[in-house]
Amino acid sequence: MNVAIILAGGTGSRMGVVDRPKQFLDVYGKPLIIHTLEVFNIHRNIDTIVISCNKEWINELNIWIRQYDLEKVKYIVQGGETRQESTFNALKSLEGICKSDDIVLIHDAARPLVSTRIIDDNLKLMKESIAVDTVIPATDTIVKSEDGVEITDIPKRKELYLGQTPQSFKFSEIVHAHKKAIEDGFYDSTDDCQLLLRLNKNVRLVRGDKMNFKITTFDDYTLFKAVLKMGKTEVKSFV
Amino acid sequence: MFSKNFKVVQPKVFEQFYDIVDKKDNYILIKIDSAMICKADIRYYNGERDKRILGMKYPMSLIHEAIGTIVKGDEEKYKVGDRVVLIPNFVSEKHDKNKCKICSDKKLGENYCEEAKFSSSNVDGFSREYIAYPSEYVLKLPQRELIDEYVFLELISVCVAAIRRYGDIYKENVAVYGDGILGYIMASLLTFVFKCNVTVIGKHKEKLDKVTFAKTLFYGEKISRFNIVFECVGGKGSESAINSAIDYIEVGGSVVLMGVSEEYISINTRKVLEKGIMILGSSRSSKDDFAFAIECLDNIEFRKSIKMLIIDEVEINDIKDFYDAFEREANNKNIGREILKFNF
């Protein structure tokens, strides 16, 4: 079984929108999260979807799930204080349902332009891996500064990638990694692959896509709307 | 939901777009799996049409030969996972086909209606991840493993339409002018499905050599008489091909024109009159032609000959792969085509 976990627990504090988190903003008549869910819902190799959702929005989300006929969404769990906790809550809901070899794909609700190709590539590589991360090569030079004042290091760009989602795991491996992190008092992971790396497990790379960007700031939102506006251009004549 | 889409925006330039694709009543959602580039697509890609017309068409998604999988069906006919072929020409549901003289004429059909739309010509084509398409204009494929030969259905249906419009052709003595892909498919269809005695007349030895199932002749060689000629040449070459057909056809014979020419051509009308030749034009096809084309692919020999046309299978992961595929097809001098596997 292949399960998609969609993380929608964020508050969208960096968006500057006061009444709703970014994943619930309206984009051409639909909440952003619905656009993301639709990609997974119609994917032929995704069997079940679990959403980890900001508590105040669970009722609203339940209504949308029915309204937009997202039949693969089986569980909505309450999100946590951190990303790590939100993911773990979703994983807990799958205990007793998933087998150890089942695959979970963890994806940010605020990345609506994830493509079928990226999901396919994740699933394909998972046939021979225990964990897979979606990345794109860094094109800008990455500068490290420990104090935000002076440069500490400029790592080699060709060794650097930017992490995206989905990140995919064997169910038993990611559950174990989360439990071990809690046991070790490690609570602030911003990325699930990090939890496996702590345990010296191998994580393989899948090519992402620049367009699979996360809508985090208002600038991202503006860019996203501009991308969609271009798509509305149609053939003008019947010549 | 969003669907990634490559559109040609000016000659030799594609851009990536995202469309919002939603299932409406009487529409189904389809993931495009495999497709093929046609010479008409190449003309738009290269900008080989009148500038004013191109200005009205760009930006436009190309490709009108494709098969896909239903990701959201309808309650009645189509379910998720069904493989289908998309029929590129259709009329809007607002147009009453039963009242329309052209649409309701079985010999002609909606393809000749002024209201007809043709994907990648006057509406966006299939170069995209997902498409919402009228359920009336798809046909279910046999539900065995996905077979690449089905991508050729549009071309096969065009040949089927031309034969249908001519009439009873079973076991006739037929010539096919043109050694390109259309001529090859027409000759194969006439040989294997309609059991005709077929001669293919062309100008390229390497292409004629591929036609192993019918007699072949070089253009200019002594040609025997035929009752029916299918002209599959098009372009500038169609003028000499049509005049040769007029020369060699039997009195009272028929010439079916199928090749597209952007320019006016001169033909020997005196001989047409003297011989009482019937000239008929046929290019595109209708849904019934697609249905018959699917049946034709059950003919093992015919399917084998279509399989010979597959040069390669190429995965299209991004816009760069898409460009490369168009460049290769633009320079393709072979008789076959690449099957593009959409994975973007």
**pLDDT tens digits, one per residue of B253-266:** 999 999 988 789 99
Q: What is the pLDDT of residue A237?
A: 46
| Cα–Cα distance list, A108 to A172, B200, B231 (Å) | 21, 59, 56
Distance (Å, whole) CA B342 – CA B344: 6
Tell whether A113 is within 8 A of chain B (Cβ): yes
Contacts of B85 (CB under 8 A, 6+ apart): B66, B67, B138, B139, B141, B150, B153, B154, B290, B294
CB-CB under 8 Å, B72 with A231: no
Alpha carbon distance B121, A70 (integer Å): 34
Alpha carbon distance A65, A70 (integer Å): 5
| pLDDT number for residue A129 | 97
CA-closest candidate to residue B235, choices B203, B212, B207: B203
Q: Where are the alpha helices (DSSP H) in B95-220?
A: 153-166, 181-188, 205-208
From residue A113, give the alpha-carbon distance in Å to each of A141, A165, B78: 25, 11, 27
By the CB < 8 Å criterion, does A99 face chain B? no
What are the backbone angles phi and psi of residue B55, rounded to the nearest 5°? -60, -35
Angle between helix A58-67 and helix A32-41 axes, rounded to 10 deg: 50
Residues in CB range of A159: below 8 A, 6 or more apart: none
**B117 in contact with chain A, both atoms CB, cutoff 8 A:** yes
Return the closest-CA partner of residue B33 out of A1, A76, A46, A120.
A120
Q: Is A63 at the interface with chain B, CB within 8 A? A: no
Q: Which residues of A touch B18 (CB under 8 A)?
A: 113, 211, 227-228, 230-231
- From A98, A174, A165, select the one nearest A131 (Cα to Cα): A174
Q: Which of A120, A232, A238 is nearest residue B122 as measured by Cβ atoms? A: A238
Going by C-alpha positions, the residue among B204, B165, B159 that lies closest to residue B183 is: B159
Total number of residues shown for chain B: 344
The CA distances from residue B272 to B21, B246, B268, in Å, are 51, 7, 7
Say how far apart CA B278 and CA B297 lie, in whole Å.
Answer: 30
Q: From residue B232, how far is each of A54, A67, B192, B322 by CA, in Å? A: 63, 51, 18, 28
Q: For residue A53, which of A74, A26, A80 has the smallest C-alpha distance?
A: A80
Count how many pairs of residues, chain A against chain B, have C-beta atoms within 8 Å.
75
Query: pTM of the predicted model, to two decimals?
Result: 0.86
β-strand partners of A107: A6
Strands B13-20 and B2-10, sheet pairing: antiparallel
The CA–CA distances, whole Å, from A151 to A138, A146, B60 equal 18, 8, 47
Could you give phi then psi for residue A52, rounded to 5 degrees? -100, 110
| Per-residue pLDDT, B221 | 84
CB proximity B20 to A under 8 Å: yes
Low-confidence ranges of chain B (pLDDT < 70): 144-146
Nearest CB partner across the interface for B122, out of A28, A228, A235: A235
For the beta sheet containing B215-218, the strands, ordered from the edge strand earlier in sequence to the opposite edge, are B215-218, B197-202, B173-177, B226-231, B249-257, B278-281
CA distance A117 to chain B (A): 5
Could you give the CA distance from residue A200 to residue B312 in angstroms, rounded to a whole number? Answer: 42
DSSP conformation letters of B244-272: HHHHHEEEEEEEEE----SS-----HHHH
Q: What is the predicted pLDDT for the residue at A105? A: 98
Q: Is A35 on the interface with B (CB under 8 A)?
A: yes
3-state secondary structure of B139: strand
Tell me the shortest Cα–Cα distance from B342 to chain A, in angstroms: 9
Q: Which residues does chain B have within 8 Å of residue A42's beta carbon, measured at their own beta carbons? A: 1, 29, 31, 71-72, 130
Burial B101-113 (b: 16+ CB within 10 A, else e): ebbeeeeebbbbb
**CA nearest to A58, candidates A79, A39, A81, A32:** A79
In 3D space, the residue among B133, B156, B127 whose CA is nearest the CA of residue B35 turns out to be B127
In terms of phi and psi (left: phi > 0; alpha: psi -120 to 50; beta: otherwise), the region of B47 is: left
- For B86, the token pair is 């998309």
CA atoms of A108 and B45, how far apart (whole Å): 37
User: Which tokens belong to B235?
Assistant: 């372009």
Six-digit token pair at B45?
Answer: 């890609």
CA distance B155 to B293: 9
A231 in reach of chain B (CB within 8 A): yes
pLDDT digits 0-9 by tens, A52-100: 999 999 999 999 999 999 999 999 999 999 999 999 999 999 999 999 9
How far from chain centre, in Å, is Cα B206? 22
CA distance B247 to B200: 16
For residue A35, list chain B residues with Cβ-Cβ distance below 8 A: 1-2
Sort out which chain A residues have CB atoms less than 8 A from B343's CB and list them: 116-117, 120
Instruction: Please give the Cα distance from A165 to B219 (Å, whole number).
Output: 59
The verdict on A226 touching B (C-beta cutoff 8 Å) is no
Low-confidence ranges of chain A (pLDDT < 70): 12-19, 229-239
**Assigned token pair, B212:** 């192993």
Q: Do A239 and B56 touch (CB under 8 A)?
A: yes
